[in-house]
């Protein structure tokens, strides 16, 4: 999570179009991170500013062992019992774990006091290490000086601070043309294409553009499609072919096809199949972000000898080097998906609109990340000499599937009003033995219910108010697992939201006024794990319609 300060985004766009015939658009996006920084990494560096973690731990444990441990022993904390087994010739160590657990409960208050005492000693400057300082108290001049120095220095290897430098840019162009051939059943032919150029510039604070390294990345795509109407428009058939190319990957073709059948008026059955790709993003390819506990890296070239966390835990339990296992993470490649969808839409009683659908997606090379350690052991004793945790962009080794369904209802009544509701179910299924973290980050269940009205006329005595509208919407979102950075993975609890809006359209002025709020009741909730609680957002807008001049 980042503290965004003085951040700026600029987008310039130009478009030429003729409705239902062609469009040509181009836009660019430029950004400047300003004085944004990583607050978590800043906190770690402030701690290191006063005293190295190893020295702090040594001071804490020394005071604990010399002053607290004798008190705990005197109060009956169980001690290890060492015996010699003559039958096996081995030393046997036993420990009363149940008794120790109960002791921790019985003397919880004492433990809090003893911890505070040990912490106070460790927070002092160490006479044996002249470079150490007392704990930096927030608000003190020493704290402010260190904080400003750390957050104003770039978070690259040269400056060693926590400030982001980001002046990246994106340039995009896209076009499409629709042909209408003089063939009765062939409704239209659509051709189009797009191209994109990424120009990241982070000076090594986000990407691997350190020193004199300059990163650029371009990609393009082209497509063509046919649409047929058959049997008096009862059947509409669509087929599309597309090719995509990223400069770091081969040309990949994909296809899509759909069928819409209208058995009778206001009833539509749809069936579709589509294949698509998702190219690895810039972060999947080039990321190099140190967040303190871990380094988040892209994986354009592959990563050798990563120790999965499960193997590292096995080693740590017994300090047995043979418990370590290693995996080689292959370079990331485009994710491919085959999607199937079936749905039905109808209108009942001339006022109830129903739309239901089911989808099933099958992913190959699903993009996510692996978390593991780069471990260096002392060959003499098998103990750790160097350790670094990495989150490495990766593809799934197995097939990943997702499926879901949704149903939406809209009921129109009394000329001006609409009662609506929808429900969706989404589920991701992956191989339990696959080391990838999929980061699906989608609740399994959610629904919303809404009431809205438009072009309402109200009478208040002799006063007649016309062209009013409103909307009220209630949302419920099920709890779900949010997978992000190693320290930002956990359950996002279920939450509810109530949104409301009131609007008025002044016909003569060609202007619409809107007053509303999202999360009207200010029910503060987490929508990402480790993120801020999000409360009410109120707004007022004025929209002028130039088309009506």
Res 548 pLDDT > 60: no
- The verdict on 30 and 169 lying in the same domain is yes
At 46-78, the pLDDT tens digits run 999 999 988 999 999 999 999 999 999 999 999
State how many domains the chain has: 3
Query: Helices 97-106 and 108-122: crossing angle, nearest 10°?
Result: 80
- The verdict on 31 and 64 lying in the same domain is no
pLDDT tier at 129, thresholds 50, 70, 90:
confident
In a domain, 67, yes or no: yes
- Whose tokens are 């499609």? That residue is 225
In a domain, 329, yes or no: no
- The verdict on 115 and 171 lying in the same domain is no
User: What are the E-state strand segments in 287-351?
Assistant: 288-290, 295-297, 303-308, 327-329, 335-348
In a domain, 523, yes or no: yes
356-370: average pLDDT: 94
Say what the pLDDT of residue 90 is: 82
Beta bridge mates, 344: 269, 356
Res 178 pLDDT > 70: yes
Percent residues over pLDDT 90 in the chain: 75
Res 549 pLDDT > 60: no
- The verdict on 29 and 91 lying in the same domain is no
- The verdict on 450 and 544 lying in the same domain is yes
pLDDT, the chain, mean:
92
- The verdict on 174 and 242 lying in the same domain is yes
In a 3-state reduction of DSSP, which class is residue 381? Answer: coil
Say what the pLDDT of residue 212 is: 83
pLDDT tier at 458, thresholds 50, 70, 90:
confident
Percent residues over pLDDT 70 in the chain: 98
Say what the pLDDT of residue 382 is: 86
- Whose tokens are 């000329």? That residue is 415
At 253-303, the pLDDT tens digits run 999 999 999 999 999 999 999 999 999 999 999 999 988 888 999 999 999
Domain span at 513: 441-549
In a domain, 478, yes or no: yes
At 301-329, the pLDDT tens digits run 999 999 999 999 999 888 888 889 999 99
- The verdict on 80 and 127 lying in the same domain is yes
Say what the pLDDT of residue 485 is: 65
In a domain, 549, yes or no: yes
- The helix, strand and coil proportions of the chain, stated in percent and rounded to the nearest 5, come to 15, 50, 35
In a domain, 213, yes or no: yes
With b meaning 16 or more CB within 10 Å and e meaning fewer, what string describes 311-336?
A: bbeebeeeeeeebbeebebebbbbbb
Distance CA 167, CA 70 (A): 58
Please say which residue of 218, 247, 264 terminates a domain.
264
CA distances from 506 to 53, 122, 452, 459 (A): 65, 69, 19, 17
Res 127 pLDDT > 70: yes
At 428-450, the pLDDT tens digits run 887 656 777 777 889 999 999 99
372-399: average pLDDT: 91
2-16: average pLDDT: 93
Distance CA 254, CA 242 (A): 5
- The verdict on 477 and 540 lying in the same domain is yes
**Element containing residue 178 per DSSP (H, E):** strand 169-179
Please say which residue of 264, 294, 320 terminates a domain.
264
For 530, left (φ over 0), alpha (ψ -120 to 50), or beta?
left
- The verdict on 31 and 177 lying in the same domain is yes
pLDDT tier at 338, thresholds 50, 70, 90:
very high
Distance CA 139, CA 150 (A): 15
At 84-126, the pLDDT tens digits run 888 887 888 888 999 999 999 999 999 999 999 999 999 999 8
Please say which residue of 240, 264, 288 terminates a domain.
264
Say what the pLDDT of residue 88 is: 80
In a domain, 423, yes or no: no
In a domain, 195, yes or no: yes
């Amino acid at each position: 999570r980042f503290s965004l300060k003085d951040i700026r985004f600029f987008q310039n766009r130009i478009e030429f179009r003729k409705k239902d015939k062609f469009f040509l658009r181009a836009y660019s996006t430029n950004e400047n991170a300003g004085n944004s920084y990583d607050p978590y990494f800043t906190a770690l560096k402030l701690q290191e500013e006063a005293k190295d973690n190893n020295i702090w731990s040594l001071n804490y444990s020394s005071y604990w062992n010399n002053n607290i441990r004798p008190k705990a022993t005197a109060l009956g904390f169980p001690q290890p019992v060492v015996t010699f087994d003559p039958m096996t010739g081995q030393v046997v160590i036993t420990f009363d774990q149940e008794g120790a657990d109960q002791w921790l409960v019985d003397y919880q208050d004492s433990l809090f006091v003893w911890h505070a005492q040990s912490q106070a000693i460790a927070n002092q400057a160490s006479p044996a290490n002249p470079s150490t300082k007392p704990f930096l108290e927030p608000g003190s001049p020493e704290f402010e000086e260190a904080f400003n120095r750390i957050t104003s220095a770039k978070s690259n290897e040269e400056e060693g601070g926590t400030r982001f430098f980001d002046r990246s840019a994106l340039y995009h162009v896209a076009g499409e043309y629709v042909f209408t051939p003089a063939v009765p059943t062939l409704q239209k032919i659509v051709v189009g294409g797009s191209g994109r150029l990424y120009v990241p510039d982070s000076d090594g604070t986000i990407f691997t553009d350190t020193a004199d390294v300059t990163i650029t990345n371009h990609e393009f795509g082209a497509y063509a499609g046919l649409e047929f109407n058959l049997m008096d428009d009862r059947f509409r058939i669509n087929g599309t072919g597309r090719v995509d190319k990223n400069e770091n990957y081969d040309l990949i073709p994909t296809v899509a096809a759909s069928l819409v059948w209208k058995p009778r008026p206001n009833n539509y059955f749809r069936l579709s199949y589509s294949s698509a790709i998702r190219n690895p993003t810039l972060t999947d390819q080039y990321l190099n972000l140190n967040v303190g506990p871990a380094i988040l890296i892209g994986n354009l070239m592959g990563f050798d000898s990563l120790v999965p966390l499960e193997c590292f835990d096995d080693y740590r339990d017994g300090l047995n080097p043979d418990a370590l296992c290693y995996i080689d993470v292959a370079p990331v490649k485009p994710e491919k998906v085959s999607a199937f969808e079936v749905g039905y839409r109808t209108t009942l009683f001339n006022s109830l609109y129903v739309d239901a659908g089911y989808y099933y997606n099958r992913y190959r090379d699903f993009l996510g990340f692996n978390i593991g350690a780069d471990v260096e052991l002392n060959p003499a004793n098998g103990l750790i000499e160097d350790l670094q945790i990495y989150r490495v962009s990766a593809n799934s080794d197995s097939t990943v599937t997702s499926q879901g369904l949704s149903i939406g209802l809209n009921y129109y009544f009394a000329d001006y009003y609409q009662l609506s509701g929808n429900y969706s179910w989404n589920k991701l299924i992956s191989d339990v033995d696959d080391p990838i973290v999929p980061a699906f980050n989608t609740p399994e269940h959610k629904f919303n219910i809404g009431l809205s009205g438009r072009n309402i006329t109200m009478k208040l005595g002799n006063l007649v108010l016309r062209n009013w509208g409103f909307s009220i919407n209630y949302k419920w979102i099920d709890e779900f697992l949010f997978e992000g950075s190693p320290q930002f993975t956990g359950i996002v609890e279920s939450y509810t939201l109530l949104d409301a809006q009131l609007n008025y359209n002044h016909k003569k002025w060609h202007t619409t006024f809107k007053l509303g709020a999202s999360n009207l009741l200010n029910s503060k909730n987490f929508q990402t794990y480790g993120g801020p609680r999000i409360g009410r957002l109120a707004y007022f807008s004025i929209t002028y319609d130039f088309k009506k001049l």
